[in-house]
Chains A and B, each alone.
Chain A
Amino acid sequence: MFKYIIRRLLQLIPVIIGISIVVFMIVHLAPGDPILMMLGEDATPEDYLRLQRIYGFDRPIYEQYLRWAGNAIQGDLGVSIRQGAPVSMLIYSRLPATIELAFVSVLLAVLLGVPLGVLAAIKRQSPVDFFSMVIALLGVSMPGFWVALMLLTYVALNVGWIPMFGRGGSVFYGLWQLITTFDGSELYDGLRYVMLPAISIGTAMMAIITRLTRSSLLEIMGKDYIRTARAKGLTERVVVFKHGLRNALLPVVTVVGIQFGAMLGGAVITETVFAWPGAGRLIVNAIQQRDFPIVQGGVLMMALIFTLVNLTVDLSYAVLNPRIRYD
């Protein structure tokens, strides 16, 4: 197990180096220039050269990369050109909101998707199967921003207690507060604010989970040991939930991990519509302003977290299915 973790971590190194080079090349090859973006309408060519020198963009590109990479290895992701703050701090300040949104969306998708998938699998080829699949698929068929705008216009505005934008409180801290002091106000606030963004992201994910649960469960139910269980005279419920579902959830866990990781930086559009202060918006704004250090550092951090999340997921297989061993 320990050896396996080490090997996976070692595999990570070339991927991370590759990402850093790819991202560096993309941001520097893209048309657009951070100095131009920063200069006002009144700047002169001298101003341009002056700022270019101050920020080191007059150096050859490989030299810029090596300098940046050298600092990054030591944990210094540089300073934002436009905001003047350390990149690591900017990213760190966005992580709570980002993780919270990702977490709640995944939770929502799992809570709805798994039961729907099980239902569809049990009632395979019946109208129940068909309609639960249609409901699930509707989620993946709707562009996220469209769902978001529809929710705002037709739900939030009419209901009244659902906020339109921003982030209220921390859901995690609120949960902790509820458990320790029985004070649910922070949790309530946090959930109210995260609800709509989470729904508009979670619907697409729900579809994937429903579909996967269904096909995975169907596959498992065809296996010999399920037949054996049936033959032993166990009730269908026990067979499905105790023997079937437990194994069927393995691929679902992988996908949940991938989705969770992908959402960390990938919820850009939803974040924009709901003015959610997440990491995706930070990075996309930085792309628009050609704030190279944020783009480089941000994408690198997201990729790192994504990979670590997936490693964790792979390890959690051992918990769900003790027969799997790592060596």
Chain B
Amino acid sequence: MNRKVGILVLAVVLVFGLGSAVSAARPDTIVIGSGAEAVGLDPRLETDVPSFERINVIFEALVTFNTEMELVPRLATEWGFSDDGMTLTFWLRDDVLWHDGEPFTAEDVKYTFDWVLDGDNAAPNRALYADIGVIEIEDDYLVHFHLDNPNSFLLNNIARMPVVPAHHGERGDFRTNPIGTGPYKFVNWSRDDIMNLEAFNDYWGSEPIHPYVQFRPIPEASTRLLAFEAGEIDMYQGGMVPQELPRLEDDPNIIVERAPGTGYSYLGFNTKVGPLADVRVRQAISRVINREAIVERVMNGIGTPGVSPIPPTLPWFSDDVFDLGYDIDKARALLEEAGVWGEDLTLRLYTNENPDRIRIAEILQFEAARVGITVNVTIEEWGAYLSRIQDTEDYDIFILGWGGQLDPDRAMYRQFHTDGPNNYTFFSNARLDELLELGRTLDPTTQESIEVYTEAQQIVVENAPYGFINYTEEVLIYHPHIEGITVHPYSANSWQDVHLVRKN
């Protein structure tokens, strides 16, 4: 018995001794790291960025955003609004095949959007497309969207809904075994471990350079970075550890690319409750947010201090707004003016277990104490937190963020319109409502559109339902042997052109 064990141990030792180093990922495979696992792969059902990172490699939308955040053709070659703005027409590519070899046609486009709009289906993002009325197929490659209401930003939403095949869409396992038109087709998926994709040889665009793509979810940020440095993954975007950034940028064997993102984080004030109903109190709290220090030290230079609800990369952004920069003395003066100075003001702040938000909460707690405000922080688990903010009014201040703010309507209507579905601050301003409704009907390329949203931003910033903390920044890191990838400001679209990536 003992001898057998001995032999086994010897064998194990031998095997260990003969082992080679961890093979850097196979040369014919591009390995992409990710901060979280996808929920599913059906564009109609998913709402999270990690899912769309993968979906946008397997599927394609009619139009998409390039790395300059311009709308560019994908499955559609051309598009245009009718003169009255009530019909949106798409001319489709006629050389596109689904991964099963069937041709892509207008039928698939109609099927996808009709399915999303059908109230009997569980499409969570239905509201984005609610202005679409009837979809009319003129021929296989020409389709008209007749709108119920004018919506000049509808194209941005259509860019977020990749087309699914009508002949597979009703299949029960479509969500975990999808068929798309993208450069890579789905092979298999072991959840929380690995997702394997294979090049689609009949892809209409330029042929995928590498035969395989893998997605590896690694939830722990420090592990993800270590795995990257050890060469086990080729690249990843987002979820960068801020403290490591300077070191990585100095390392000649690592390439770091950065681009301003499409989101921001903010303090939300419940404008219904006691002292926070007073705009001066909200302004005062906004003034104790040390934005520069947060961006510079806590985020280690990732992102920029927050100004308004519109990211600086959009043409509508305006910094010609009321100044609510860090100033303890002015905050004190505002509180005195509001008549709450010296009173025992205690506010409840909620946030979830995101480390950056916890840090911001702690900083705010500390700074607010300097102007005599006691902030009680509660860090809730994400599910409980979300239902508190969305379902109840039981909070004073909360820390949250918005992502994917690709146009001013999306960045403001939901959040600040009196009837906005995400108006968690219960903010209401008649002039603002008017402007936001007007903005939807204007041609986004006109000066008038810019003026409308400039005024809207001024109203929001001065009335301070939000205290803007910082704008996000996207960080992509990859090894020097990777060519042909550029950081994408909208991380859901990061890998849509991974078929052009070359790994030497």
Contact = CB atoms under 8 A, between A and B. Distances in A.
Interface of A: 30-33, 36-44, 46-47, 50-51, 54, 82-85, 90, 93, 97, 149, 152-153, 156-157, 160-167, 178, 184, 187-188, 191-192, 272-275, 277, 281-282, 285, 287-290
B115 to A, nearest CB: 14
Interface in B170-199: 173, 175-176, 190-194
B15 A187 contact: yes
B123 to A, nearest CB: 8
Nearest to A32: B383
Contacts of B504: none
Nearest to B403: A41
A31 B388 contact: yes
Contacts of B122: 50-51, 54
Contacts of B447: none
Contacts of B45: 84
A274 B219 CA distance: 9
B383 A277 contact: no
Nearest to A277: B193
B414 interface: yes
A288 B232 contact: no
B258 interface: no
Contacts of B330: none
Interface residues of B, number: 57
B127 A44 contact: yes
Contacts of B120: 50
Contacts of B223: 152, 164-165, 273-275
Interface string B104-127: 000000000000000110101111
Contacts of B224: 165
A280 to B, nearest CB: 10
B176 A83 contact: yes
A161 B192 contact: no
Given A50-B122, A164-B223, A288-B382, 12 more contacts: A32-B386, A41-B47, A42-B421, A43-B127, A47-B124, A47-B126, A50-B119, A153-B226, A165-B218, A166-B216, A184-B12, A188-B19
B421 A43 contact: yes
A42 B402 CA distance: 12
Contacts of B216: 165-166, 275
A84 B176 contact: yes
Contact of B220 (A51, A156, A188, A273): A273
Contact of A42 (B11, B14, B128, B390): B128
Contacts of B21: 160-161
A121 B248 CA distance: 51
Contacts of B125: 40, 42-43
B40 A84 contact: yes
Nearest to B389: A36
Given A42-B128, A188-B15, A156 B230 contact: yes
Given A36-B387, A43-B124, A290-B383, A164 B230 contact: yes
A157 B18 CA distance: 20
B380 to A, nearest CB: 8
B381 interface: yes
Contact of B232 (A39, A165, A282, A289): A165
Given A43-B421, A164-B223, A164-B230, A93 B191 contact: yes
- Please list the 10 inter-chain residue pairs (A to B) with the smallest Cβ-Cβ separation, ordered nearest first: A32-B383, A40-B47, A184-B15, A277-B193, A164-B227, A31-B384, A42-B127, A277-B192, A275-B218, A39-B124
B387 A272 contact: no
Nearest to A40: B47
A44 B383 CA distance: 18
B202 interface: no
A36 B391 contact: yes
11 contacts: A31-B384, A40-B125, A41-B414, A47-B126, A83-B191, A156-B230, A165-B223, A165-B226, A166-B193, A188-B18, A281-B192
A289 B383 contact: yes
Interface string B125-169: 111100000000000000000000000000000000000000000
B462 interface: no
B147 to A, nearest CB: 17
Interface in B377-420: 381-384, 386-388, 390-391, 402, 414
Given A39-B124, A43-B421, A166-B193, A33 B19 contact: no
Given A39-B124, A166-B194, A32 B387 contact: yes
A90 to B, nearest CB: 7
A61 B450 CA distance: 51
Interface in B437-495: none
B383 A37 contact: yes
